[in-house]
Amino acid sequence: MSGKTFVVQGRKPMRTIFAATVASLLSTTAMAQETIGVSMALFDDNFLTVLRNGMIDYAESQDGVDIQVEDAQNDVGKQLNQIQNFIASGVDAIIVNPVDTDATQAMSNSASQAGIPLVYVNREPVNVDDLPDNQAFVASDERESGTLETQEVCRLLKEQGVEEAQILVLVGELSNQAARMRTQDIKDVIATDECSFITIAAEQTGNWMRTEGQDVMTNWLSSGVEFDAVVSNNDEMAIGAIQAMKSAGMSMDDVIVAGIDATQDALAAMEAGDLDVTVFQDAAGQGQGAVDAALSLARGEDVDQKVYVPFQLVTPENMDQFTQSN
């Protein structure tokens, strides 16, 4: 409609009818608006930033969808309050990237009692096998991540002719299922006949953080521990370990370093010859999947309760395929 006043011959201008039509259209648009409340574990994380932006960009590309994103700042109490606030404000669905995966039962209960759909993204909730019908989990299968990573480290060590290998393991936050699973993946791989020549010289948490990974590696180097490879639960800790080794004058040609996520910083480290292995976790894909699941549940549609976005091994040979991904 052009916005002009139309006149029917022999009658007065139809301004009143036009205004009523516009008001009706505006009312219909407002009614169609769907609101998703999102609580992220923290904003200050490279991978989770890509995940968050993926959700925002995808939601904004959908007609009539409003997305509200909050930072829990790694505080489970704050996250629980954010969920309660979303419920009180009457959002159509909630997406949660949990601070503590062991605290998700209370989140599920709150959303279920309010009748609001809830989708967990990226970090597997402790109650994943007992989610109510209007709740779901979107992520990548952590049984693949540490497995792909460690199998490639095993292959590279064999290629170098190492007969007895020592590895250092950097672990994420112990409250996160992903950290526990990725670490178990490492142990499962080195328990196989093919990779049984590998043993863990030391294992310590770096809480997913680059600075803590650097501190842990600095302490290991000071203790004189011998190792052939560093296997990290994520890229950030791996990069921190690389920084510590380079500061100590180590040549990165003498050690294999592996991480998970295939962030842009990790790919830059791989391009520089410092990082040997990473595993692509599709942050934007998980974000889109979470928004799709939340909208479908809000509309009363059926959704698979577990939606997995595949991991992919990244090496110097294929890294060019992933430079625009995370």
What is the torsional sign of CA 72, 77, 83, 84? negative
Pick the CATH number of 34-140+283-309 from 3.40.50.2300, 3.10.20.30, 3.30.460.80, 3.30.950.10: 3.40.50.2300
pLDDT at 88 over 60: yes
CA angle 231, 52, 311 (to 5 degrees): 40
DSSP class of residue 277 equals B
* CB-based contact 147:184 (threshold 8 Å): no
pLDDT at 28 over 90: no
- β-bridge partners, 69: 38
Please report which confidence band the pLDDT of residue 325 belongs to, taking 50, 70 and 90 as the band edges: confident
**Verdict on whether the full-model pTM lies above 0.75:** yes
pLDDT at 19: 38
As a whole number of angstroms, the distance between CA 233 and CA 165 comes to 19
Instruction: Please state which architecture CATH assigns to domain 142-280.
Output: 3-Layer(aba) Sandwich (3.40)
pLDDT at 12 over 50: no
Where are the chain's structural domains?
34-140+283-309, 142-280
Q: How does pLDDT run across 275-315, given as a tens digit for each residue?
A: 999 999 999 999 999 999 999 999 999 999 999 999 999 99
Q: How does pLDDT run across 55-68, given as a tens digit for each residue?
A: 999 999 999 999 99
As a whole number of angstroms, the distance between CA 65 and CA 59 comes to 6
Q: Which residue has 């890294």 as its token pair?
A: 319
